[in-house]
Amino acid sequence: MPILGVNIDHVATIRQARYREMPDSPNAEPDPVQAALLAEQAGAGGITAHLREDRRHILDRDIVRLRDKIATKLNLEMGVSEEIVRIALDVLPDDVCLVPENRREVTTEGGLDCAGQRESLRPIIARLRGRGIRVSLFIDPDEKQIVAAADLRAEFVELHTGAYANASGCFQASELARLHAGAARAVALGLRVNAGHGLNYQNTAPVLKLAGLEELNIGHSIVSRAVTVGLAQAVREMCEILSRG
**In the predicted model, is pLDDT for residue 107 greater than 80?**
no
Set 10, 57, 160, 197: catalytic member: 197
Distance set, CA 196 to CA 6, 27, 151, 202 (Å): 10, 32, 22, 14
Average pLDDT of 37-57? Answer: 97
Average pLDDT of 55-76? Answer: 97
Set 77, 101, 158, 215: catalytic member: 77
The question of whether 77 is a catalytic residue gets the answer yes
**In the predicted model, is pLDDT for residue 135 greater than 60?**
yes
The question of whether 50 is a catalytic residue gets the answer yes
SS3 for 94?
A: coil
- In the chain, what percentage of residues exceed pLDDT 90? 92
The band of 151, judged by pLDDT with boundaries at 50, 70 and 90, is: very high
Distance set, CA 156 to CA 222, 235, 236 (Å): 24, 24, 26
Q: Rounded to two decimals, what is the model's pTM?
A: 0.94
User: Does residue 176 come out as left (phi exceeding 0), alpha (psi in the -120 to 50 range) or beta?
Assistant: alpha
| Nearest 10 degrees: Cα torsion 199, 190, 97, 144 | -80
Q: Distance (Å, rounded) from C-alpha 235 to C-alpha 218?
A: 10
**In the predicted model, is pLDDT for residue 105 greater than 80?**
no
Q: Distance (Å, rounded) from C-alpha 112 to C-alpha 93?
A: 20
pLDDT of residue 245: 81
For strand 134-139 and strand 213-218, is the pairing parallel, antiparallel, or unpaired? unpaired
Set 10, 50, 57, 160: catalytic member: 50
The question of whether 220 is a catalytic residue gets the answer no
Question: Domains of the chain by range and CATH?
Answer: 3-244 (3.20.20.70)
Average pLDDT of 130-147? Answer: 98
pLDDT, tens only, 214-228 = 999 999 999 999 999
pLDDT of residue 109: 65
pLDDT, tens only, 154-208 = 999 999 999 999 999 999 999 999 999 999 999 999 999 999 999 999 999 999 9
